[in-house]
Amino acid sequence: MRIGIEYESHDRYDTTVSRLILVLQDLHGPRPDPGAGVSLPRLPALEQWVARGDIAPTPGGWRQWLQYELADQELAALPAASVAGAGVQALTADQPLWLATPVHMVAGLDTVRVHPAGLLRLAAEEQQILQDDFARVFTGSGWSLHVTGRRELLLAGPSTLKGAAIRSADPALWLGADPRAGLPSGPGSESLRRFGAELEMWLHEHPVNLARAARGVLTVSALWIWGGGAAVARKGMVAAAAPVPAPAMTAWADELFIDGLAHCVGLRVEPLPKRWPQQGANFAPADDLLAVCSMSVAPDQGSLQALESDWIAPALAAWRGGQLHTITLLAADRVVTLRRSPLRSMLRKFRRVRPWWEALP
């Protein structure tokens, strides 16, 4: 049998069909309280995506994966706080930075857990009050707190901690769990942990927390310090030949790290829509898309099913309908990519579809 093949060489794929990178920011294997009677719903679209896609681990989390995907090696090697700081003004160029996430802890008889919805987004006025009071209380300490308008604030630390090999973890990994294993560790971490304890005492019965308690919303138990140790990234760090994706990329996000990454590599940032446009029916974007979704509430039946219906299912439908060339999902510690390939699609049909909480550790 003779087979003839015709082909054309292209520098890149047709720009009328784009790729999507969908980040499920806080979906890290939710741990519902066994005593609360909460059961996790099956998410068919997410499970199909995971079963049919190419799966790879992301040991450094979704932020580091994006750094390596969209930037050059110099920028990719920086901690998340340095990249995030690129989008914030009034930062000293040589001070090491850390992300500071407001968290709410739940104290038991002999344990402390991060509340399942304990990653808090403070109002701009609350952030400003904390920044001003921090400058008064911690004057001369070498630390400064900076408002961002996003969920994470920024802490600039003393130069003695610059370059310290301190390991720290995204607090989203510890939602509903005992956070002790995620606290700063390694050389130089003792001073960081002591400072974190001082912040907890400062926040206890702080006027911002008293006002939040009066409104019946979760209070700020601590500022989780993580993802830092280096100075702010510079816009000029990315060379002209850096692998910025083609075609141009638009980011839908309300996230500090994306603000900084956009400043460094030239992404266009727009507010995250409430859901996928037109439910994915006829939406064919001209640019590649990066969407960073956060549930902002405890993972339960309603929030998980909303995430499925508003984002996962319509994005999968757009890929199946040909509006998207490639779709990549970043969730938990996995990256799952679906590409348009008939042979791969046929082989993937034989994969077993598992519950999403088993497929995404």
pLDDT digits (tens, 9 = 90+) for 42-66: 899 999 999 999 999 988 889 999 9
Asked whether residue 120 carries a pLDDT value surpassing 60, the answer given is yes
Distance CA 102, CA 84 (A): 16
Summarize pLDDT for 59-104 with one digit per residue, the tens: 888 999 999 998 888 888 899 999 999 988 777 778 889 999 999 9
Instruction: Give the domain ranges of the chain.
Output: 18-77+239-359, 83-230
The pLDDT of residue 349 is 60
Rounded mean pLDDT of the chain? 83
* Global confidence as pTM: 0.85
What mean pLDDT comes out for the span 178-206? Answer: 90
Per-residue pLDDT band for 278 (boundaries 50, 70, 90) equals low
Asked whether residue 138 carries a pLDDT value surpassing 90, the answer given is yes
Asked whether residue 163 carries a pLDDT value surpassing 70, the answer given is no
What mean pLDDT comes out for the span 126-155? Answer: 94
